[in-house]
Amino acid sequence: MDLQQIGSSHPLIRQAVALIKNSAPNRNMLFVAEGLWAHNAVLSASVPVRTFFWCPEAIYSSEAKKRSAEVAQRAERAFRISEKTLARISERDKPDGLVSIVQMPAWDADLIELSDDALVVVADAIEIPGNLGTLIRTIDACGAELLILTNRRTRMTHPKVFRGSHGMSLTIPFLDLDQPEGAISWLKHNNFSVYVADTDDAKHYRTVDYSGRTAIVLGNERYGVSNPWYRHNFERVYIPMRGQSDSLNVSISAAVLLYEARAQKDSR
């Protein structure tokens, strides 16, 4: 491809570095996709590619060469970069020579269509990006229809969220409703039964009826679910711990609860 070459001091390279470091305001919901699998996910999701950086010297497979041309055609702008410049915007030991600045999809709470038996996850104040990414991948795996973020502590555009979700952050609809009260109002308006993952005054997760529209609330890794969720008499559910540890990783807890809810829904 005959593309203009730019160096490491170019403003777009600096923008990519800032996005990777998650160090600047990001109103346009941009993130950096790197490597072949990431660009396969971007193309599959048909999300906007704002800038594509191509380093042919770092491309090792015929598939990556083919994908480079497809991404360059899709991108609003495309540039060639050197291996030295690639190293500045790459977090991989063996990069594939493909890096893009991509825009996350936007979802409107008033336009999202949900089934009568919808399964929804609320992530309340989850702060570790890898946990959020793994949670999104789990949501996809069990066929949940929506992620709601409250008390957000990490951005959906964080590179570790995209990697942890294996690209599913581009396809799972999500709403960032900020304060729990907004999410609670939305869930009630849309006729959801809400279950809060907790250990106090809670029911065994397998004894709960997950029929109809179901929302499962998962809390912060250290402090659990925030107080507003306890002011509405939502049912609490717990996962028994048979060993000495008192809790599971939040994404593991999500998998246990979501697959039980999914099993019940599918058996009807």
Q: Give the model's pLDDT for residue 219.
A: 95
Report whether pLDDT(245) > 90. Answer: no
> Concatenated DSSP letters for 167-197?
TGGGTS-EEE--SHHHHHHHHHHTT-EEEEE
How far, in Å, CA of 29 to CA of 100, rounded? 14
User: How many structural domains compose the chain?
Assistant: 2
| Residue 231 CA: distances (Å) to CA of 36, 186, 225 | 47, 15, 12
CB 98 within 8 A of CB 70: no
- % helix / strand / coil in the chain, to the nearest 5? 35, 20, 45
Q: Give the model's pLDDT for residue 246.
A: 79
Strand partners, 175: 148
Same domain (yes/no): 125, 92: no
* Number of Cβ within a 10 Å radius of residue 28: 12
Same domain (yes/no): 90, 124: no
Same domain (yes/no): 201, 175: yes
- Is the residue at 191 inside a domain? yes
CB 212 within 8 A of CB 117: yes
Out of 66-75, 176-185, 246-255, which region has the weakest mean confidence (pLDDT)? 246-255
How far, in Å, CA of 132 to CA of 164, rounded? 8
CB 216 within 8 A of CB 197: yes
Same domain (yes/no): 156, 221: yes
- Is the residue at 239 inside a domain? yes
Q: How many CA atoms lie within 13 A of 249 on its CB side?
A: 11
CATH number at residue 144: 3.40.1280.10
Report whether pLDDT(95) > 80. Answer: no
Same domain (yes/no): 139, 213: yes
Largest separation between any pair of C-alpha atoms in the chain: 65
Report whether pLDDT(97) > 80. Answer: yes
Domain boundary among 40, 70, 103: 103
Same domain (yes/no): 26, 68: yes
Same domain (yes/no): 76, 147: no
Q: β-pairing, 98-103 with 30-34?
A: antiparallel
Same domain (yes/no): 27, 151: no
Q: Give the model's pLDDT for residue 248.
A: 87
| Residue 60 CA: distances (Å) to CA of 44, 92, 193 | 22, 14, 50
Domain boundary among 69, 103, 137: 103
Q: How far apart are the first and last CA of the chain?
A: 54
Which residue is listed with tokens 């409703």? 177
How far, in Å, CA of 213 to CA of 194, rounded? 9
- Is the residue at 4 inside a domain? no
Q: Which one-letter amino acid corresponds to residue 7? A: G
| Domain limits for position 143 | 119-267
- Is the residue at 110 inside a domain? no
Please compute the mean of the pLDDT values over residues 246-264 and round it to a whole number: 93
- Is the residue at 112 inside a domain? no
- Is the residue at 238 inside a domain? yes
Same domain (yes/no): 93, 214: no
Same domain (yes/no): 149, 26: no
Report whether pLDDT(207) > 80. Answer: yes
Same domain (yes/no): 153, 262: yes
Domain boundary among 41, 70, 103: 103
- Is the residue at 111 inside a domain? no
Tens-digit pLDDT profile for residues 102-160: 999 999 999 999 999 999 999 999 999 999 999 999 999 999 999 999 999 999 999 99
Which residue is listed with tokens 């029911």? 203
Strand partners, 51: 77, 101
CATH number at residue 52: 3.30.1330.30
Where do runs of H (alpha helix) occur along 142-249? 159-164, 180-189
Cα 238 from chain centroid (whole Å): 24
- Is the residue at 5 inside a domain? no
Element (H, E) at 260: helix 250-267
Same domain (yes/no): 250, 133: yes
Tens-digit pLDDT profile for residues 139-153: 999 999 999 999 999
